[in-house]
Structures are given as C-alpha cells and as structure tokens.
C-alpha cells in the first residue's frame, strides 16, 4: 500500500526542521548503507548521533504516535528513529530494497515492514528527486509538498532520481508493524476508515458499526503479532 498523509508537519514545524538541519553534522549517506546499496547511493545524511538529529527524530516519533491516520495504516509496534538526508548536485539513490532487519542503537532487532519518507523541501524548490516505487501497478513517481508523509512497503524496489538543481531534504524511517503482511494491513486500514465514516454518520452505537468494529478487532487479533 502506498499512502500519502498530508500535513503531518505544519509549515512552521518544517521551517524549524530546516533551520536545525542547516547547522547539523552531515556525512556521506553511503556510510549507513549496506554493501550493495552503498554502490548506488550518493547523498548526504545527518549524523544520527548528533544532538540535532536526536532531538528532531524524537519529536517526529512522538508526532507519529499521535497521528490517527498513521497509526491506522502502519499499526506500529516499533519505529526506527527517523534520519535526515539531503540530495543535491546530482545526488541520487539507485534502485534498491530496504534491509529486512535493522538494528537499533541498543542492539534490538527491528523488522522493516514499512518505509516512510517525510518531505521537508517544497517540490518546486528542486528539480528531479522523485521517489520512484515499483508496485504491482507499475512504477509510481512521488514528489510531495513539505510536511507530507509517504508510507510504502519496505519490500518494494524503489529509488530517488537525481536532483539536478536545488536541494531535497527529507526525513526517512522504518516501521515494524504489529501486522507483518502488507495485504492484511491494507485491508484493516480500509475497514477502519469505513468504520470511522460510518461512526460519524450513524453514531458509534449503531448496530452495523458495532458489527464492523468487532470484525476489525477479530481480524487484528488473528493477524497481529505483539
């Protein structure tokens, strides 16, 4: 499932991130890539251990946990702390698949079910830089407004096209979902969104709303691993 969540960050929050990142410690993005990915990765990333990265990452995780559409779609069990990257002067990231297993700083393993990209630059401020994702319907090109978030399966082949002018800033992270199957998550998300609409129209005590809610939770009970 590809899902765009609009305005996760306000324009003021985006501007704060950009101001903070301007004085952060940057390093070659290939340093944090696996052996095969490093060969096709040409960008910059903020040192994840610097104070600015830690503060911005922590704030974003807190925001995500309170964002209803994100929680409904991702059903997060663990979130890999967001990192921050920059593409400029031809920087790109060739076709690759994200690692299945990631390690947190404490050594804990995290299964990468969902990839997330939060755009921090306005799309008209740079040329190129499209996030291209291979789906069962063909390649999808994504270039969102600053503050918007894209969620997509971490198992998908994807790339960032070269940025030929300007600067593309973004935050990126991974989620281990309580429901490993992308197909199951998509069904649960669709069902939950319908329940929300019907609840607002009929009331939470409506018999059909209650039946659908029971179905949702019983499916979640069958499919979730916690």
Binding residue ranges for 2-oxoglutarate: 168
Q: What distance in Å separates the CA atoms of residue 74 and residue 192, rounded to the nearest whole number?
A: 12
Residues in the annotated binding site for Fe cation: 96, 98, 158
Residue 38 burial (CB count, 10 A): 15
Residues in the annotated binding site: 96, 98, 158, 168
């Amino acid at each position: 499932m590809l899902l765009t969540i609009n305005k996760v960050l306000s324009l003021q929050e985006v501007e704060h991130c950009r101001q903070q990142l301007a004085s952060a410690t940057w390093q070659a993005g290939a340093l944090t890539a696996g052996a095969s990915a490093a060969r096709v990765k040409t960008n910059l990333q903020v040192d994840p251990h610097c104070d600015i990265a830690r503060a911005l990452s922590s704030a974003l995780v807190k925001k995500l946990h309170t964002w209803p559409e994100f929680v409904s779609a991702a059903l997060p069990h663990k979130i890999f702390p967001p990192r921050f990257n920059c593409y400029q002067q031809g920087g790109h990231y060739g076709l690759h698949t994200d690692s299945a297993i990631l390690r947190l700083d404490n050594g804990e393993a995290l299964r990468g079910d969902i990839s997330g990209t939060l755009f921090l630059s306005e799309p008209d401020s740079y040329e190129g830089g499209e996030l291209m994702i291979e789906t069962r319907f063909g390649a999808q090109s994504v270039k969102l407004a600053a503050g918007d978030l894209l969620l997509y399966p971490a198992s998908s082949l994807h790339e960032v096209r070269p940025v030929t002018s300007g600067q593309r800033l973004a935050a990126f992270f991974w989620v281990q979902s309580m429901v490993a199957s992308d197909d199951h998550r998509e069904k649960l998300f669709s069902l939950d969104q319908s329940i929300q609409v019907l609840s607002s129209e009929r009331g939470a005590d409506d018999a059909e709303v209650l039946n659908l809610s029971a179905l949702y939770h019983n499916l979640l009970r069958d499919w979730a691993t916690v």
